[in-house]
Chains A and B, each alone.
Chain A
Amino acid sequence: MKKRAIPIYASRGDVAWFYTFRFICALVFLFLIFPIIIIIPLSFNQEPYFSFTSGMLSLDPDAYSYRWYWDILKNGMADPDASNGWWADMWNNAQWIRSIKNSFIVGIFATILATVLGTVAAIGLSSSHMPYKRIIMSLLISPMIIPLVITASGLFYSFSQVGLAKNYLGLILAHAVLGTPFVIITVTATLVGFDQSLTRASASLGAGPVRTFFRIQTPLILPGVISGALFAFITSFDEVVVVLQLADVRQRTIPRQMFSGIREQISPTILAVATILVILSIILLTIVELLRRRSERLRGISPE
């Protein structure tokens, strides 16, 4: 039998409240999503403004353009109009391209470091024999809780004494630190539901511990590890407070570039970059969601 949204015995007041409540919730969802959606049309603005022009509102095609998307490529180029060596010029000189490269370099290495250290630690933490579990767990989670300004200041102050400030290595280490709590949380969440009798079954069928790890445990915890890695990557990819203090102009990442863009010369190029980032986050969210479902299916928990 199909469950009814409003029970048959509901009074008129109940029905009115039902729709009022849904309307309130719809407004909250609008509040959540609308600001993110609105920047997409704004990024195609022909004019250098952050607001809708009258042409855009009357859907005049001339009021829209790809101008700011081209600006991502051209801004900072030595000669944007040259036909010779345009690509090399863009690749080497454009500010945004450089910041995109930096974001990926720092993000990827920090993610690898955080994922390896975090996964190994999570396996240890989920063992029931782990001593001082609570205090160690709080310590491992603390990079997520301690205000970024304190972390950034501490790292800048100490890293500059040992030559780790203003270079890639220091930034990668810092972002790896910030990413580990996310890996820990997602991987332990996967391991909590892990059925230990599977490893015993595997052992009873003659597999050694190494074979059991790779053939039984790994496929089951892999979705958790990958979503942990994605969390770590997005943390690094989105981080700006540490970059502000620890990096100089050569290591500017995308958020750092956006930060100075908003502060110094606000132009719709930022909106174009933001639109690309929104699309990227939709892709990442989809991957994480698919991984979560796969993990649930593998472990025999299915929705409904």
Chain B
Amino acid sequence: MNNFTEENFSSDGVSLKKKLRRSLFKSKMRAFFLVLPLLAFLAIFFVIPIINLLSQSFLDFRYATLMPGSTQALKDWDGKSFPTEEIAKAMVIDLIQAKKNKTIGKVATRVNRELSGTRSLFTKTARAANKMEAPYMEALIKKDKKWENLKTWQAIKISSMAVTPSYLLAAVDRKYTAEGEIIQQDENRRIHVTLFLRTIEISVIVTLATLLLGYPVAFLMASLPLRTSNLLLILVLLPFWTSLLVRTTAWIAMLQSSGVVNDLLVFLGVTADDARFSLIYNKTGTLIAMTHILLPFMILPIYSVMKTISPSFVMAAKSMGATNWTAFWRVYFPMTIPGVGAGAILVFILAIGYYITPALVGGQDGQMISNIIDFHMRSSLNWNLAAALGLVLLIFILFFFWLYDRFVGIDNMKLG
């Protein structure tokens, strides 16, 4: 007879414990294999491409591969003393080669990013390089005085580093010197920190504005009977389902100087016909349009939390002598915090990476960090800097994504 300390065996003689473990493992594998195709798909077409780009923020092999001789020679240079004749010789040989391979433009662009004005120096010197004779340093300086400048050589040394902190530092308006120090970027090139701050400012304002507008609406919908609130919900969901471009276009029609809002204000006598407000193609336009576009993302989570709060809590508070305000602020509001948190983090995350609306209605002072990333990707073609800015933005977003997951939970995300 079996007693309790012994293991139980099934009819085929395998211990039940082992069988259970085996079957659990099987269902684990089955669940995992169902997710695997999508995981592989996302890895290949989403994660790896993005990592590939972001790695460009600290990797730049361009100078090192195109100008191997001078890269090698500059490695041993301390960055303070004047470069040796050996370095100058390697430079001239590299320039001749680069000119022949027609890669001098790429090299010049790379160095120019470290020190502006060096592009022409490189192209000009390369044209004359095959006629140069020893001593090479003198020949270089004879061609252009800039070769005498220590700053030029320092910029070249930094460009020759394959693993470079330059771009990431440039993304936060710092720069790396040949002596290995990190200093502030020149005054006229300090634009990114301002832009990051403005992006955060716009996102915070939009988050607060959507909260201010969304909370009462969610409260109203939660207090109405379900049939009515479902109808009102459609009014919230319609903008949610309407194309972003349509909504942005609508705001152009509303806010432009001859638009509906200004017409109405002139008609009401708020402003004179020749003193219409400029509400669009600036920060105001970006703020209004983004608040409108992101408002449903605030209302929906708050509403779904408020729906579950029983009205008897507030009634109980009032029956015990609380005023309306106390009952709301001390009893009702704390219970809606999870919804407010979910909505606020979601709106903030979406706002901080916004591109289209600022691009279309932002004008000059309504541009955000995404717009400059796109500018460097498509116009200036400085992909390394775009990657660096993207990496900084991404770190920021991932922090808030982590917060969202901690306090709300990814699985609680709902749509409509």
Q: Is B183 an interface residue (CB 8 A)?
A: no
Q: Is B68 an interface residue (CB 8 A)?
A: no
The distance from the CB of B106 to the nearest CB of chain A, in whole angstroms, is 17
- A147-B353, A262-B252 in contact; A39/B232 too (CB < 8 A)? no
The distance from the CB of B284 to the nearest CB of chain A, in whole angstroms, is 15
A36:B238 contact, CB within 8 angstroms: yes
Expressed in whole angstroms, the Cα–Cα distance for A101 and B254 within the complex equals: 30
Q: Is B411 an interface residue (CB 8 A)?
A: yes
B258:A51 contact, CB within 8 angstroms: yes
Q: Is A218 an interface residue (CB 8 A)?
A: no
A32:B32 contact, CB within 8 angstroms: no
A288:B253 contact, CB within 8 angstroms: no
Residues of chain A lying within 8 A (CB to CB) of residue B41: 117, 176-177, 180
Q: Which residue of B lies closest to A137 (CB)?
A: B410
A303:B254 contact, CB within 8 angstroms: no
B226:A142 contact, CB within 8 angstroms: no
Kindly list the 6 A-B residue pairs having the minimum CB-CB distance in the complex, ordered from nearest.
A147-B353, A124-B34, A158-B49, A154-B50, A35-B250, A121-B38
- A36-B242, A138-B401, A146-B394 in contact; A153/B53 too (CB < 8 A)? yes
Q: Is A194 an interface residue (CB 8 A)?
A: no
Q: Which residue of A lies closest to B250 (CB)?
A: A35
The distance from the CB of A38 to the nearest CB of chain B, in whole angstroms, is 6
Q: Is the interface of A mostly helix, strand, loop or mixed?
A: helix
- What are 17 A-to-B residue pairs whose CB atoms are below 8 Å? A3-B225, A22-B220, A35-B253, A50-B253, A51-B253, A51-B260, A121-B35, A121-B39, A140-B39, A147-B394, A149-B355, A152-B377, A154-B53, A189-B414, A238-B245, A240-B356, A281-B241
A173:B45 contact, CB within 8 angstroms: yes
A150:B239 contact, CB within 8 angstroms: no
Expressed in whole angstroms, the Cα–Cα distance for A284 and B31 within the complex equals: 32
A262:B28 contact, CB within 8 angstroms: no
Contact of B397 among A145, A227, A259, A284 (CB under 8 A): A145
- A3-B225, A39-B249, A141-B410 in contact; A153/B373 too (CB < 8 A)? yes
Stretch among A58-66, A83-91, A128-136 lining the B interface:
A128-136
Kindly list 12 other residue pairs between chains A and B, CB separation below 8 angstroms, not including A173-B45, A288-B416: A35-B250, A36-B250, A124-B35, A129-B31, A140-B42, A143-B46, A150-B53, A153-B390, A154-B52, A157-B383, A259-B360, A281-B238
B245:A259 contact, CB within 8 angstroms: yes
A36:B247 contact, CB within 8 angstroms: yes
Contact of B249 among A131, A150, A262, A304 (CB under 8 A): A262
Q: Is B349 an interface residue (CB 8 A)?
A: yes
B37:A117 contact, CB within 8 angstroms: yes
Q: Is B150 an interface residue (CB 8 A)?
A: no
Contact of B49 among A52, A159, A180 (CB under 8 A): A159
B53:A157 contact, CB within 8 angstroms: yes
CB under 8 Å from chain B, chain A span 7-38? 14, 17, 21-22, 24-25, 28-29, 31-36, 38
Q: Is B117 an interface residue (CB 8 A)?
A: no
Residues of chain A lying within 8 A (CB to CB) of residue B32: 124, 130-131
* Interface bits A199-241 vs B (CB < 8 Å: 1, else 0): 0000000000000000000000000000100010010011011
Expressed in whole angstroms, the Cα–Cα distance for A42 and B96 within the complex equals: 64
Expressed in whole angstroms, the Cα–Cα distance for A31 and B49 within the complex equals: 40
Q: Is A277 an interface residue (CB 8 A)?
A: yes
B216:A139 contact, CB within 8 angstroms: no
Q: Which residue of A lies closest to B411 (CB)?
A: A137
The distance from the CB of B147 to the nearest CB of chain A, in whole angstroms, is 34
A38:B254 contact, CB within 8 angstroms: yes
A136:B35 contact, CB within 8 angstroms: yes
Expressed in whole angstroms, the Cα–Cα distance for A157 and B249 within the complex equals: 30
B46:A284 contact, CB within 8 angstroms: no
* Interface bits A83-106 vs B (CB < 8 Å: 1, else 0): 000000000000000000000000
- A29-B232, A39-B246, A180-B38 in contact; A145/B31 too (CB < 8 A)? no
Expressed in whole angstroms, the Cα–Cα distance for A258 and B38 within the complex equals: 32
* Interface bits B8-48 vs A (CB < 8 Å: 1, else 0): 00000000000000001001101111110111011001111
B243:A149 contact, CB within 8 angstroms: no
- A124-B33, A274-B246, A288-B416 in contact; A147/B411 too (CB < 8 A)? no
Expressed in whole angstroms, the Cα–Cα distance for A238 and B247 within the complex equals: 11
Contact of A238 among B37, B48, B244 (CB under 8 A): B244
Residues of chain A lying within 8 A (CB to CB) of residue B249: 39, 258, 262, 270-271, 274
Q: Which residue of A lies closest to B258 (CB)?
A: A51
Q: Is B235 an interface residue (CB 8 A)?
A: yes
Residues of chain B lying within 8 A (CB to CB) of residue A154: 49-54, 390
Residues of chain B lying within 8 A (CB to CB) of residue A262: 245, 248-249, 252, 360
Expressed in whole angstroms, the Cα–Cα distance for A5 and B237 within the complex equals: 25
B415:A231 contact, CB within 8 angstroms: yes
Q: Is B56 an interface residue (CB 8 A)?
A: yes
The distance from the CB of A18 to the nearest CB of chain B, in whole angstroms, is 11
- A149-B373, A158-B49 in contact; A33/B259 too (CB < 8 A)? no
B217:A145 contact, CB within 8 angstroms: no
Contact of A157 among B49, B213, B401 (CB under 8 A): B49
Expressed in whole angstroms, the Cα–Cα distance for A241 and B359 within the complex equals: 11
The distance from the CB of A119 to the nearest CB of chain B, in whole angstroms, is 9
A50:B252 contact, CB within 8 angstroms: yes
- A117-B37, A139-B39, A259-B245 in contact; A304/B226 too (CB < 8 A)? yes
B217:A150 contact, CB within 8 angstroms: no
A29:B235 contact, CB within 8 angstroms: yes
Residues of chain B lying within 8 A (CB to CB) of residue A177: 41-42, 45-46
Expressed in whole angstroms, the Cα–Cα distance for A224 and B143 within the complex equals: 72
Expressed in whole angstroms, the Cα–Cα distance for A24 and B216 within the complex equals: 8
The distance from the CB of A243 to the nearest CB of chain B, in whole angstroms, is 11
Q: Is B91 an interface residue (CB 8 A)?
A: no
Q: Is B168 an interface residue (CB 8 A)?
A: no
Residues of chain B lying within 8 A (CB to CB) of residue A127: 27, 30-31, 34
Q: Is B130 an interface residue (CB 8 A)?
A: no
The distance from the CB of B133 to the nearest CB of chain A, in whole angstroms, is 42
